[in-house]
Structure 1
Amino acid sequence: KQKLVPRRRVLSRSADLAEDYRITSDNVLHLVLKLSDLNLITVRTTCGQEIEFLVDRYRNVISLKHHIFQEGKGFPSQRA
């Protein structure tokens, strides 16, 4: 799910060497990653506990806040 793109040419075969594409030390390479539709997000609370979420990458921040609120209901409050 990743590819390397030097000079707007995708490295098509993983067995090829960089010299086959005339890549030198002053070339800029772009690494293109294809992310899955789910991202793993780890939230550390102020009381030190961690919660992991699998979040659809097309959801908004409000959705993530709702997940955190629902999962964090059992945690002790920092407010006195």
Structure 2
Amino acid sequence: MDEVEEVRLCEVANEVEAALVVNLLQSDGIPARSDATPAGSVFGGLPFESGHGVYVAAPLARRARAILSDYPHFHNLKNVHEPVSD
């Protein structure tokens, strides 16, 4: 079975936002995952999160970006993947 290349679609601020983006894409038929893990306690027990990546199959990246663009909350995501070709 051929393995499909996966790309980092975007970076989100925290675990909750990662889950929102992944679930939104999955509900629209795009398999997605994040590298989010529960926030670690640092700085006197306060949670610290440095951002999490959301990943999709390369051929679906353009469609995934289009889906997220329909939601104003996701207009300012960091490091959004720019597909180089269709």
TM range (shorter): under 0.3
> Rg bigger for which structure?
1
TM-score (norm 2): 0.25
Higher helix share: 2
Report which structure shows greater RCO (CA 8 Å, sep ≥6). 2
TM-score scaled by structure 1?
A: 0.26
